[in-house]
Structure 1
Amino acid sequence: MSLSPFHLAIPVYDLAAARAFYGEVFGLAEGRSSSHWVDFDFYGHQLVIHEHPKTASQDAAHTNAVDGHDVPVPHFGIILGWEEWEALADRLKARQTRFVIEPYVRFKGQVGEQATMFLFDPCGNALEFKAFKDMSQLFAK
């Protein structure tokens, strides 16, 4: 499957903290930047953090129930290979990351089984990282 890179711009009210988070915690390469925004290579996609006053969703996230967990909305993320997801989960745990939803396997034994974890960046933007052992399950019903 060949995918085109997406572009996502998100608000951050503390540019320095968000820049450190995406650069150091995830090891994302930095691209162009200014005093008000920074481009990152988010697993081959373009993520841009833009300085912006705190939004309502950053202050208090809405949630929807999924598989017995309160999933923050809005959120964004990436689907990694299984081993890459496990390595990231281990790295985040070693850094004593505070998860919204701890790494686990969702829908275990069901259609759409996937590994997932949720966390917030320093500015309250929710991120989800997931993986499928069987990528044909990505859109399975």
Structure 2
Amino acid sequence: MELNCFHMSLPCKSIEATVSYYSEQLGIAIGRRSDNWVDLNLFGHQLTFVESNNFEFQFPFYSLDEEDLPSFHFGVVLTNDAWEKIYDQINRQWSNDTILKRTFFKDKDGEQNTFIVKDPNGYYLEFKTFKSPSHIFL
């Protein structure tokens, strides 16, 4: 396991619905859990959800290449093979999950393929792969 990983904790509406979505639909490994929280292994990063009943989370969208994207989102940068694998996995079984699949910055520095899904808590997850991995931070 990578020693330099991030940890993020977010509120969720239901532990069971969250665990079901991330494990069954996204294929994410479930770690430790209790009645009101769960740790997930999001490609080597620790994502924790804490049950917080009904919470309100509002955020604006912004425009990129004529697409409206959520200003609050999180996700992972994957190799092209891993990106294709998870995209196929999600869309083979759960065809309604993909909110957006698009190439951004076509033929420019930072060219990337991305797709976005929305979890049962209203969070948007972005999965992306770069044409040239050296352009991740350009």
Q: TM-score, normalised by structure 2?
A: 0.90
Q: What is the distance in 1 between the residues matched to 2:119 and 2:65?
A: 23
In structure 2, how many angstroms separate the alpha carbons of the residues matched to 1:39 and 1:53? 18
Consecutive unaligned residues in structure 2, runs of 5 or more? none
Q: Distance in 2 between matches of 1:54 and 1:18?
A: 14
- SS of 2:27's equivalent in the other structure is coil
Q: CA deviation at 1:3?
A: 6.8
Task: Name the CA distance, whole Å, in 2 between partners of 1:27 and 1:86.
Answer: 14
- Contact residue 99 and residue 116 of structure 2 kept, 8 A: yes
Paired amino acid for 1:88: I
Contact 1:73 1:126 in 2 (8 A): no
- 1:63-110: CA deviation from partner (whole Å, max 9, x where unpaired): 111121111121100001011111211222212133221x22111111
4+ residue segments displaced more than 6 Å? none
Instruction: Give how far 1:61 is off.
Output: 4.5
- Which amino acid in the other structure matches residue 124 of structure 2? A
Residue aligning to 1:49: 49
Supply the distance in 2 between the matched residues of 1:68 and 1:96 (Cα, whole angstroms): 24
> Aligned letter for 2:35?
S
2:120 counterpart letter in structure 1: P
Show the counterpart of 2:95: 96
CA distance in 2, matches of 1:69, 1:106: 10
CA distance in 2, matches of 1:71, 1:120: 12
Give the number of aligned pairs: 136
RMSD: 1.6
Q: How does 1:5-16 map to 2 (within 5 A)?
A: 5-16=5-16
Between the aligned residues of both structures, percent identity stands at 35
User: Which residue is 1:126 aligned to?
Assistant: 124
Aligned to 2:67: 69
Which ranges of structure 1 fall in alignment gaps of 5 or more residues?
none
2:37 touches 2:49 (CA, 8 Å); kept in 1? Answer: yes
2:106 match: secondary structure: coil
| Aligned partner letter, 1:87 | K
